[in-house]
Structure formats: C-alpha cells, structure tokens
Amino acid sequence: MKKINFKQFLIAIATIIFFSTSISSCKKDDNNGGGSTTITTNAAIKLDSINLAYGSDATQKMDMYLPANRTDTGTKVLVMIHGGAWSAGDKSDFTSNIAALQNGLANYAIVNINYRLAVPPSTNLWPTQQTDVNAAIDFVIANANYYHYNANKIVLLGASAGAHLALLKAYKYNANKNIKVVVDYFGPTDMVDLYNFQTSNQLLITTFMNGTPTTNATAYSNASPLNFVTAAAPPTIIFHGTADAVVPIRESVGLDSVLQTAGVTHQYFSYAGEGHGVFNNTNTYDAAIKSLVFITANNK
C-alpha cells in the first residue's frame, strides 16, 4: 500500500499558514528520555530527538521534533504512522517534510515512528505492527514531563496501513482517552473485506494474518477498526479515492456509516477518480486544508 504524497500535503499547509522560520537553535538528542520528572529537557529550546528507542529491537525507533517555548499543557502532539502494507515503508519517508508541518502546527510536538515490518513467511507477522504502535505511543505518554508536551492531546495521522494502525489504536487501545483525533488516509478498516478484495494477494494476507477469515476469524475481527467503534471513539476525518485499487473505498464508506450510527464527530471525503497513495495537487491541497481545520477544531 503506497504512502500518500505528504510532501504536497505539507507544502499545502505551509502555503496557508505563515509563521516565521527563524527559530531558536536546534539540538540532537539520541537518548531515550527515561520519563524522569526531575531531569528534563529545556522547554525554551527547539529540540530534534532522532532515533529514540521505544523498544529493544533496532527498528523500534522514532523521531521527535519539539518546538521552542513548549509547555506541559499547551504543546500538543501529532504522531505520524507510515504506510507500506505493514511490510515496507519507513519514517524517513516523511523526514524532508517535517519543517513544513511544524509551520502549520506550530504548537505541536511532531513524532514520526517506525515499527517492525512483516517479512513473510514467519517474521514480524500480525499483530507485531500494532504492538509496536501501541508501545511507541506509550513511550510518548510516559515521557511527557521529560520532553514537555501534553500527552492528553494526541493526534494520530496515518496513510494506508499506517491509517489502519492509527484507527485501531484510537478505537481499541485508547482507554485513557489520550488520542483525541485521527486523520485517516485510505486505511483498511475491515480485514475480511480487504482479503476478499485482494484476490491476487490472498496468500500473502493469509500468511500475514496466520490464516484466512475462515480459519482464523478471530484475528481478522480483532484487526478490524470497524469492529471497535463506540460512541467514545475520538473525532475522525477520512479521505479516500473512488478508484482505489488497493484498499476499496467501501471500507471508508463503511467506517463513515458506523461512526455516524455511533454519533462520533467525524468527516468523510471521497475524491472522484483518485487511486491509492497519491492524490492530484488540487485534492491534496483540499485534504490538507480539511485536515488542519479538523485537527484544530477537535484537539482543543
């Protein structure tokens, strides 16, 4: 599953919101924070912490970009989760776009995470990726005092497989309600439907999920965000192309319907003729505006 053209997404945000690009000096910090409440970072200084370890595996890393003059209550958090069919992609896909996103959401800490990738037939199969996303966000929450941001004001933004992981985290693993908003770009929401749609890739899905929807129905059900929507689900904004040949648009249509029935604040936008991964410039710009407005309105 391809990633969205985030470069265009972020350029669009930067075009609309003008902030000074003169910021205080930037430091590199490769330690893991440690969650200390007595030894903390200097909140007055912009800090880029690259390749922070949130687990023992070499790939369990994140990049954290912290604004200058951040506060424990006023600085919110945006977590980005890359796509790639749970088996490809990397946080570095987004690195060149971080500055533009910081301009658009100046009071946010930006977190860009990696997770262990599936390598069929036997390595890092489901639910490894969800386990890692959960662990990464647990790390973000645990280290809020050390880095100085509000871990109760988290936005998740994902594309394709990354959106699937974001939705599942927000709907199924959000007991403390830290996740306040989800931005979903054409994420799978129903793993049985994805299996049925992906006729040419069913063997890979079967391996990844340790069975078919018939032989391992529980796994498919537990991996489907659609099944965990309740009235308490966080506000969600959804984008999908009508010509998506990887994740069928009916998965977003279904999510829209379930969110509406549950009374969850949400918006759903479809783009005629768009496929999977990259929208044209006009639609990318439109989605960027809508995302920014939605985040601002719902993560107060």
CATH number of the CATH domain containing 111: 3.40.50.1820
Q: Phi and psi of 36, rounded to 5°?
A: -70, 145
Q: Is residue 197 in a domain? A: yes
The confidence score (pLDDT) of residue 14 equals: 44
Q: Which of 2-6, 16-20, 84-88, 295-299 has the weakest average pLDDT?
A: 16-20
Residues 6+ apart with CB under 8 A from 210: 125, 126, 216, 219
* Average of per-residue pLDDT across 170-198: 98
In terms of residue numbers, what domain contains 124? 6-298
Torsion of CA 207, 215, 185, 7, to 10 degrees: 0
Q: Phi and psi of 81, rounded to 5°?
A: -125, 115
For residue 8, what pLDDT band results from cuts at 50, 70 and 90?
low
Is the pLDDT score of 268 beyond 50? yes
In 183-246, alpha helices (H): 191-197, 202-208, 217-222
* Amino acid found at 136: A
What does DSSP say about strands 76-81 and 61-66: parallel, antiparallel, or unpaired? Answer: unpaired
Is the pLDDT score of 22 beyond 90? no
Q: Is residue 1 in a domain? A: no
Q: In this prediction, what percent of the chain has a pLDDT beyond 90?
A: 80
Q: For the chain, how many structural domains are there in total?
A: 1
Q: Is residue 28 in a domain? A: yes
> CA-to-CA distance for 53 and 272, rounded, in angstroms?
41
* Average of per-residue pLDDT across 82-105: 88
* Average of per-residue pLDDT across 263-273: 98
pTM score, two decimals?
0.90
The confidence score (pLDDT) of residue 21 equals: 29
Q: Is residue 107 in a domain? A: yes
Q: Is residue 253 in a domain? A: yes
> CA-to-CA distance for 206 and 211, rounded, in angstroms?
5
Q: Is residue 54 in a domain? A: yes
Under a CB-based contact definition with an 8 Å cutoff, are residues 92 and 55 in contact?
no
Q: Is residue 115 in a domain? A: yes
Q: Is residue 26 in a domain? A: yes
* Average of per-residue pLDDT across 21-39: 45
> CA-to-CA distance for 164 and 266, rounded, in angstroms?
16
